[in-house]
Amino acid sequence: MTVQQEPTNWRKSSRSVNGSNCVEVGRVEGGAAVRDTKDRAAGYFTTTSGQWASFIAALKNDRFDG
């Protein structure tokens, strides 16, 4: 996905309680952007709205638990 705009409305994950493993999610047209709060200068990656919805559904269904 090629992003023509900078992400806006960055939000820290509600699961990032202790501050050591934090991610932020921002809005981009047609999707979302994700970055590491410890290294914002490293940039971010983007997803389409469909990819983001699939990722959130997988999280809610514990597909990433070992």
Please, are residues 19 and 2 in contact by the beta-carbon 8 Å criterion? no
Among 11, 3, 4, 10, which Cα is nearest to 46's? 3
Residue 2 placed within a domain: no
Our count of domains for the chain comes to 1
Residue 46 placed within a domain: yes
Residue 66 placed within a domain: no
Q: What confidence tens digit (pLDDT) does each residue in 5-48 have?
A: 789 999 987 777 666 678 899 999 999 999 998 888 999 999 99
Residue 21 placed within a domain: yes
| Helix or strand (DSSP H, E) at 57 | helix 49-60
Give the whole-angstrom CA distance, residue 24 versus residue 40. 9
pLDDT for 3 beyond 60: no
What is the pTM (predicted TM-score) of this model?
A: 0.75
Please, are residues 31 and 51 in contact by the beta-carbon 8 Å criterion? yes
Cα of first residue to Cα of last residue in the chain, in angstroms, is: 30
The range of the structural domain enclosing residue 37 comes to 8-60
pLDDT for 2 beyond 60: no
